[in-house]
């Protein structure tokens, strides 16, 4: 994670999570987000495979000049990128972890805007994450950003960060019958996908409880 706002949101989420798969939706407090709130969004996971926006921050909408509520998150991407992102979101919904995307946004005028997107699972139902808290953070903020709205998104790289050091076994996998809400040892470990290649390396991010975010849906 390159931007301090992204890091702060991860720390806030991980502090709430504790040893669970993910925090519950109702635990997220918008007042705790501070300056990050206008850039955040909430997604819903549906059985149809869609991931519509439930909420989107004001600054996010201004930068795209778009009202996101009800639109599918996957519609903003190419077909190949959409397949990749659907797979990543489905994975973290049942096995924990967070998705970090490095993207190149492109404005209507053809100007590039490098950015990162962090997507964090939230428990809203019974056993798996069916809500996601996200943030769109430009890595550069030129003065024209917002006046020349973002019109396209290109995925440069994606990675899943496992806060516990490893993915949790999928439900009914036979590997582990333990409830996803029971404690586990926490180690940071990152699984990085550089467009069809996986590299696993030790280390990663340690989550210190911070102040953080979120809209409610």
Instruction: Return the structure tokens found at 200.
Output: 């696993």
More confident residue, 179 or 17: 17
Q: CA dihedral defined by 86, 92, 93, 96, rounded to 10 degrees?
A: 180
Q: What would the mean pLDDT of 70-83 be, rounded to a whole number?
A: 95
pLDDT score at 171: 66
Q: Which residue has the tokens 């809500």?
A: 131
pLDDT score at 172: 61
pLDDT score at 53: 97
Residues in the chain: 217
Locate the domains of the chain by residue range.
4-17+36-202
**pLDDT band with cut points at 50, 70 and 90 for residue 188:** very low
Check pLDDT > 60 for residue 79.
yes
Q: What would the mean pLDDT of 70-84 be, rounded to a whole number?
A: 95
* Lowest mean pLDDT segment, chosen from 35-44, 121-130, 156-165: 121-130
**pLDDT band with cut points at 50, 70 and 90 for residue 34:** confident
In this structure, the number of other CB atoms found within 10 A of the CB of residue 151 comes to 15
Check pLDDT > 50 for residue 58.
yes
Comparing C-alpha atoms, which of 103, 115, 134, 184 is closest to residue 13?
134
**DSSP secondary structure letters along 133-167:** EEEEEES---TTBTTB-EEEEEEEEEEEEETTSSP
More confident residue, 124 or 84: 84
| Residues 6+ positions from 105 with CB-CB distance below 8 Å | 112, 113, 114, 115, 138, 150, 152, 153, 154
| Residues 6+ positions from 110 with CB-CB distance below 8 Å | none
User: Alpha-carbon distance 66 to 20, whole Å?
Assistant: 35
pLDDT score at 99: 97
* Percent of the chain with pLDDT strictly greater than 70: 78
**Helix/strand/coil (H/E/C) assignment for every residue in 69-136:** CCCEHHHHCCHHHHHHHHHHHHHHHHHCCEEEEEEEEEECCCCEEEEEEEEEEEECCCCCEEEEEEEE
Q: What would the mean pLDDT of 143-154 be, rounded to a whole number?
A: 91
Q: Which residue has the tokens 């490095």?
A: 102
CATH class, domain 4-17+36-202, is alpha beta
């Amino acid at each position: 994670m390159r931007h301090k706002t992204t890091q702060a949101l991860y720390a806030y989420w991980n502090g709430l999570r504790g040893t669970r798969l993910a925090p519950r939706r109702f635990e997220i407090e918008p007042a705790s987000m501070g300056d990050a709130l206008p850039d955040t969004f909430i997604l819903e996971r549906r059985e149809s495979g869609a991931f519509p926006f439930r909420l989107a921050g004001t600054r996010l909408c201004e930068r795209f000049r778009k009202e996101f509520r009800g639109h599918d998150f996957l519609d903003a991407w190419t077909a190949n990128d959409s397949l990749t992102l659907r797979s990543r979101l489905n994975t973290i919904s049942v096995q924990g972890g967070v998705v970090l995307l490095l993207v190149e946004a492109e404005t209507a005028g053809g100007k590039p805007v490098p950015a990162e997107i962090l997507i964090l699972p939230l428990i809203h139902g019974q056993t798996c994450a069916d809500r996601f808290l996200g943030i769109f953070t430009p890595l550069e903020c030129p003065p024209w950003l917002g006046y020349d709205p973002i019109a396209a998104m290109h995925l440069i790289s994606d990675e899943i960060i496992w806060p516990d050091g490893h993915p949790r076994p999928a439900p009914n996998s036979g590997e582990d019958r333990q409830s996803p809400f029971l404690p586990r040892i926490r180690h940071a470990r990152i699984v990085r996908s550089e467009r069809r290649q996986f590299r696993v390396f030790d280390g990663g991010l340690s989550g210190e409880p911070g102040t953080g975010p979120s809209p409610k849906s």
